[in-house]
């Protein structure tokens, strides 16, 4: 999973495999969300826009969202520094549905993730 930020508030995220998507996805958040590893500074409640490239798809998914938590550097040994982004409902659940289709059968797993 790689994150690049051309401008503050715009995130470009590439997730290349199912295990990385599982580790980053937050199904327990209203509208869904993703953990994004980053050392950039964001504020809780800040609106962001993501361009998400999933697996081998050629088109990136545009997703509006907001920061719902931050994991600062050095917070816990096994936690990556980054942010949790909750998807807005602007896309009618398209991003959430696409992610959950990729993760069909995996969402009930007890494997650890970046979030829980």
Contact call for residues 74 and 109 (beta carbons, < 8 A): no
Q: What is the pLDDT of residue 15?
A: 94
pLDDT bin (cut points 50, 70, 90) of residue 78 is low
E strands in the chain = 2-7, 10-15, 33-37, 47-54, 61-71, 82-87
Mean pLDDT of the chain: 82
Tell me, what's the pLDDT at 77?
Answer: 56
> Rounded to an integer, what distance in angstroms lies between the CA atom of residue 64 and that of residue 9?
10
Tens of pLDDT, residues 1-54? 555 444 556 888 999 999 999 989 999 999 999 999 888 888 999 999 999 999
């Amino acid at each position: 999973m790689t994150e690049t930020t051309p401008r503050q508030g715009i995130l470009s995220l590439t997730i290349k495999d199912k295990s990385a998507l599982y580790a980053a996805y937050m199904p327990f958040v209203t509208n869904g969300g993703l953990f994004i590893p980053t050392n950039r500074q964001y504020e809780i409640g800040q609106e962001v826009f993501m361009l998400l490239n999933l697996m081998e798809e050629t088109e990136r998914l545009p997703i509006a969202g907001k920061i719902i938590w931050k994991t600062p550097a050095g917070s816990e040994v096994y936690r990556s520094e980054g942010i949790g982004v909750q998807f807005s409902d602007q896309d009618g659940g398209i991003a959430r549905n696409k992610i959950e289709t990729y993760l069909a059968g995996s969402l009930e797993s007890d494997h650890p993730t970046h979030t829980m």
